[in-house]
Amino acid sequence: MDSAPSARKITRPRPKGPKQLWVSVIVLWLIVAGTAAYVLIRFRNAGPWIVPDAAKLLPNPVPVTSSSLTAARSLFLDNCAHCHGDRGHGDGPDAALYKPRPASLVQALRAPSITDGEIFWKITAGRRLMPGFKNQLSDEQRWQLVNLLRTFPESPG
Ligand code: HEC
């Protein structure tokens, strides 16, 4: 009998080349980095949103007038409604894409102790998925938005 076939069977598989090793290292790294990024975004600052006392006490310099509310309305529709919904109920078209879901501003603002300064600070600073608007909107525009949020009706629609 010819011994060639069994000799072929015991041929060892080629040892992994350096290229395959690099691929494994990169894939592993991507998995670790991806998990870390997810955990950071999902759970960082997960507790109550702490606003400095000095910011809470800032008075709103923008008077509530119908023209400033109209201006704020269009700012809100352009910058905020896709997440928070047209009337701030957290039901904008993109809301489902976010975890945690964008806050219902109506619910947040119903807290009796919340000050204009606090809302202004949150719009300015942002947190997690809520972008900060410090650079996109002027101080006046952000105060106008605070006034607008105060006018949102409690029930949606
Ligand atoms: C990308 C989606 C997104 C956009 C755009 C966005 N927000 Fe938010 N907003 C969020 C999320 C998510 C939270 C909750 C953040 C948290 O608790 O970490 C939030 C929270 C808030 C809060 C705090 C509510 C509370 O619980 O005290 C205010 C006020 C607010 N947003 C106002 C605005 C205004 C005004 C705009 C537009 C200028 C805006 N947001 C644009 C997603 C968004």
* Ligand 1 neighbours by CB, cut-off 6 Å: 49, 79-80, 83-84, 98, 100, 102-103, 105, 108, 119, 122-123, 127-131, 133, 145
pTM of the model: 0.77
Q: What is the pLDDT of residue 44?
A: 64
Question: Mean of the pLDDT values across residues 110-114?
Answer: 78
Task: Encode pLDDT of 50-85 as tens digits.
Answer: 899 999 999 999 999 999 999 999 999 999 999 999
* Proportion of the chain above pLDDT 90, given as a percent: 46
* Identity of residue 71: A
Q: What is the CATH number of the domain that holds 128?
A: 1.10.760.10
> Does 140 lie in the same domain as 65?
yes
Same domain (yes/no): 13, 74: no
Total domains present in the chain: 2
Same domain, 37 and 66: no
The DSSP code sequence of 62-119 is S---HHHHHHHHHHHHHHTHHHH-TTSSS--TTGGG-SSPPP-HHHHHHSTT--HHHH
Whole-number Å distance, alpha carbon 81 to ligand 1 midpoint, is 10
Q: Are residues 126 and 69 in the same domain?
A: yes
Number of residues in the chain: 157
Q: Are residues 36 and 62 in the same domain?
A: no
Q: Is residue 60 domain-shared with residue 121, that is, in the same domain? A: yes
Are residue 39 and residue 58 in the same domain, yes or no? no
Backbone angles phi, psi at 155, to 5 degrees: -100, 145
pLDDT at 148 over 90: yes
Q: Which structural domain range is residue 94 located in?
A: 53-150
Please, what is the average pLDDT of the chain? 85
pLDDT, tens digit, 9 for 90 and up, residues 123-139: 999 988 889 999 999 99
Asked whether residue 65 falls in the same domain as residue 98, the answer is yes
Tokens 């607008």, located at residue: 148
